[in-house]
Amino acid sequence: MLVALDLTTRQAARVLTQAVRTQAKLEIEPRPEACSSLLWGTLEGRDEGFLKVSLHDLPPGTMLAPLVGATCDVRAILAGQLCIFTTYILDAVTESVPYRLALATPQSMQLANRRRFIRRTPVEPVLVRLSVPGVGNPVIAILCNIGPNGLGCRGTSDELDALLFIGDELQVEFALPWSNGGYTLPVSVCSKTQSGADGYTTVGLEFVDTPDNTSLEQLREALTDQAARLIETEGGQ
């Protein structure tokens, strides 16, 4: 199913102009090998060749200097449309408050269905219980990000590498701080990334969608409501 539309160079330029004018809110996702967390920021301006972004809700312990040169995917909602582009980080400024990034001006852009792509990174730690078939006690991990189609979580490599393999199916349990109640969902393992020498692994889990999976529909509604804050903020500019 086609879920994204490629913009022409002229259309992409107009979208960027609108984003700068409205100081759009950006969701910045560096490639996993550079950073395991999503970054949120405001597009403050545009100079020749780069975009100026001020960061907010920065996850604790995030180091910006190692991100210089890293490729990242960026998402923003403008007039109810989700805009997606890929770029790289030119510079990180940590001497100012808030911290700032310089992103290379993208050469191409897409419009997509925000329900499919938008993801959220919890500001507070969220525990995820991973129930693996044949394993007595659940494995505990920390939620990195979550979207309508899946989630990413981080745990010790000793446990996750030994118990989880690409394609495995298991069950997750968690509660989100911005929604009522908890969620118990079947998932399959779609990716595993070791976080260098710190002994942790980030696992990507895809939700298994079944006809009677009401918990997944409730989760998607909660995520859609939370993502609407971007539209409300943009509309208030």
Q: Which domains does the chain have, with CATH numbers?
A: 4-114 (2.30.110.10), 127-229 (2.40.10.220)
Tens of pLDDT, residue by residue over 88-134, are 999 998 888 889 999 999 988 887 654 445 566 666 788 999 999 98
pLDDT at 161: 85
CA 97 to chain centre: 23
pLDDT at 95: 85
Half-sphere exposure of 18 (CA within 13 A, CB side): 15
pLDDT at 2: 33
pLDDT at 55: 92
pLDDT at 88: 93
Judge contact between 119 and 105, C-beta under 8 A. no
Instruction: List per-residue pLDDT tens for the chain, 237 residues long.
Output: 334 577 878 888 888 888 898 898 898 988 877 777 788 899 999 988 899 999 987 777 788 888 999 999 898 877 667 788 999 999 998 888 889 999 999 988 887 654 445 566 666 788 999 999 988 899 999 998 888 888 889 899 888 888 898 889 999 999 987 777 789 999 998 888 776 556 888 888 989 887 777 888 888 877 766 554 444 444 444
Tens of pLDDT, residue by residue over 15-29, are 888 889 889 889 898
- Show the 3-state SS of 7-43: CCHHHHHHHHHHHHHCCCEEEEEECCCCCCCCEEEEE
pLDDT at 204: 86
pTM of the model: 0.50
Helices (H), 77-175: 114-117, 157-163
How many CB atoms within 10 Å of residue 187? 22
Q: What are phi and psi of 6, to 5 degrees?
A: -75, 130
